[in-house]
Structure 1
Amino acid sequence: MPARLHCPGPLREGQVLALPTGPARHVQVLRLQPGDEVTLFDGNGGEWSAHVVKMGRSDVDVRVQAHEPVEREPARAVHLALGIPANDRMDWLVEKAAELGVASIQPLVTERAVVRLAADRAARRREHWQGVAIAACEQCGGNRVPVVHAPVALTQWQPPTDVVRLVLSLAREGVPLLQAATGDAPVLLLSGAEGGLTAQEEAAARQAGFAPVTLGPRVLRAETAPLAALAALTLAGAAR
């Protein structure tokens, strides 16, 4: 199978282009040679066949060939908004969410979140997480790269309105996830950091139209719960 490389578009048939630094390095690590095939995608759907035409010391040129309108995305769009977990768990969460076909990720600073990011560091982390999502799509075959938004405080976040709003809740009145998420409308799933959302944060979410849902009697880690919900929603959509 040819190496899959993300290359910002627009791409067009017959185009000869220099690969960005990351994909070029990937090609060199693989020791590809002129004539070897690669697959390109720009994150907006479909993928392009291409082949290497030049290998330099640090630059790689490829010629774009035919476009294949193949899609491997879930039938239902699921957006995650979540408290930023500590250490490297956010990297892992972004990677796995991208593999599962998440539509977008909104990192949030919540009351119980350990992570606090200054503006300059927040911008760097967003760029890093976006790179993690791109690499995951290169690996898993996804042709639409999920957008990782800039981190924002939960109290300042303005959630989209054209979605089914659900919040992962530890309260007993939460209904089972799939019972609340019927239909095919896009879903926005809100989840807390370690310890979950505070009672005040969840109350504010409910006032904003988020319905409380549960994944069952077990208490899942902050990085596990949103992925379990994402997997359940995408698999349920594929079964319909």
Structure 2
Amino acid sequence: MNLTRVYIAQPIECNEMIELPHEAAKHLLLVLRHQVGDQCILFNGTGIDYISEVVAIKKKQTTVKVLQAQKIDNESPLHTHLGQAMGKGDRMDYSLQKSVELGVNEITPLITERVNVKLTSERFEKKMQHWRAIIVSAAEQSGRSVLPLLHSPVVFQEWVQKDFCAQKIICDPLATQSWAALKKNSALVFAIGPEGGLTEAEINFAKKHGWQTVLLGPRILRMETASSTMLSLAQHSWGDL
């Protein structure tokens, strides 16, 4: 039987009594119909699952007891960092969700020339909270006990100048180099453009800083499809798929 996994942002120790956060408690009790005596898994992003049992349910408080700890070893040997151009609607959400499921380690939202997303500081923080929630939910669902790191959005030209100790790839439908031509590496950082793609100037700028362009097949992929395709290829070739 698969136990429900719940992320909590706090230290966890065996035999500890923990009051679940409101949203987590609401999901367990109202959606999944957990009762006293039922078990779940708590994790806090440190690579350990904590088998826990619901011991008390009150109107505004649900308490679980931590029974045992289990080290989880399902992280890929390939370290991946996704630079995803910010997109409209739920495309960014989908890209983040599937990337977490496919084992991405780091995510940086990118501001490119064709990104038409304008955020105030208040909306920016709400967007970051929203993205973090998607990452947490995807980690809960996929059985990961280590949360991918979400970086603050950055301008594309600034990001590609960073000193990455990894193979640096841009997915480009006009590229001539295929994935098969790449040399195996233990770390990969890759950029996915927005709707309409990266501009020629952006790609040329990245190339001057050591980035390679790669073609992901003969068809043009949406941004959310490209990120999943790239991660699937990388994990199959160099990771754990």
Same fold (TM over 0.5): yes
Q: SS of 1:39's equivalent?
A: strand
Seen in structure 2, the aligned counterparts of structure 1 residues 141 and 51 have a Cα distance that, compared at 3 Å, is: same
Provide the rounded CA distance (Å) in 2 between the counterparts of 1:160 and 1:60. 46
Q: SS of 2:63's equivalent?
A: strand
Q: For structure 2, list consecutive stretches of 5 or more residues without a partner in the other structure.
A: none
Alignment partner of 1:167 is 2:166:
no
Q: Does the CA-based 8 Å contact 2:82-2:191 persist in structure 1?
A: yes
State percent identity of aligned pairs: 30
Deviations 1:34-56 (A, max 9, x none): 22111111112121101011112
The corresponding residue for 1:59 is 61
Seen in structure 2, the aligned counterparts of structure 1 residues 40 and 221 have a Cα distance that, compared at 3 Å, is: same
Provide the rounded CA distance (Å) in 1 between the counterparts of 2:55 and 2:175. 61
Seen in structure 2, the aligned counterparts of structure 1 residues 73 and 193 have a Cα distance that, compared at 3 Å, is: same
The corresponding residue for 2:12 is 11
Deviations 1:7-37 (A, max 9, x none): 1232111111111222111112222122211
Q: For structure 1, list consecutive stretches of 5 or more residues without a partner in the other structure.
A: none
Provide the rounded CA distance (Å) in 2 between the counterparts of 1:178 and 1:58. 55
Provide the rounded CA distance (Å) in 2 between the counterparts of 1:95 and 1:2. 21
Q: Normalising to structure 1: TM-score of the pair?
A: 0.92
How far off is 1:187 after superposition?
Answer: 0.6
The corresponding residue for 1:79 is 81
Q: Does the CA-based 8 Å contact 2:95-2:223 persist in structure 1?
A: no
Deviations 1:122-181 (A, max 9, x none): 2211110110110111111111111222222223436352221111123343x2124325
Let me know the Cα RMSD of the aligned residues.
1.7
Letter in 2 for 1:105: I
Q: SS of 2:224's equivalent?
A: coil
Provide the rounded CA distance (Å) in 2 between the counterparts of 1:83 and 1:94. 11
Deviations 1:84-110 (A, max 9, x none): 121111111111111111111111111
Provide the rounded CA distance (Å) in 1 between the counterparts of 2:102 and 2:152. 21
Deviates more, 1:21-30 or 1:80-89: 21-30
How far off is 1:225 after superposition?
Answer: 0.8
- What is the aligned length? 238
Q: Does the CA-based 8 Å contact 2:48-2:145 persist in structure 1?
A: yes
Provide the rounded CA distance (Å) in 2 between the counterparts of 1:208 and 1:194. 24
Q: Does the CA-based 8 Å contact 1:181-1:187 persist in structure 2?
A: no
The corresponding residue for 1:27 is 28
Seen in structure 2, the aligned counterparts of structure 1 residues 210 and 150 have a Cα distance that, compared at 3 Å, is: same
Out of 36, 39, 50, the position equivalent to 1:48 is: 50
Alignment partner of 1:213 is 2:210:
no
**What does residue range 1-240 of structure 1 map to in structure 2 within 5 Å?**
1-29=2-30, 30-157=32-159, 159-173=162-176, 175-183=177-185, 185-238=186-239
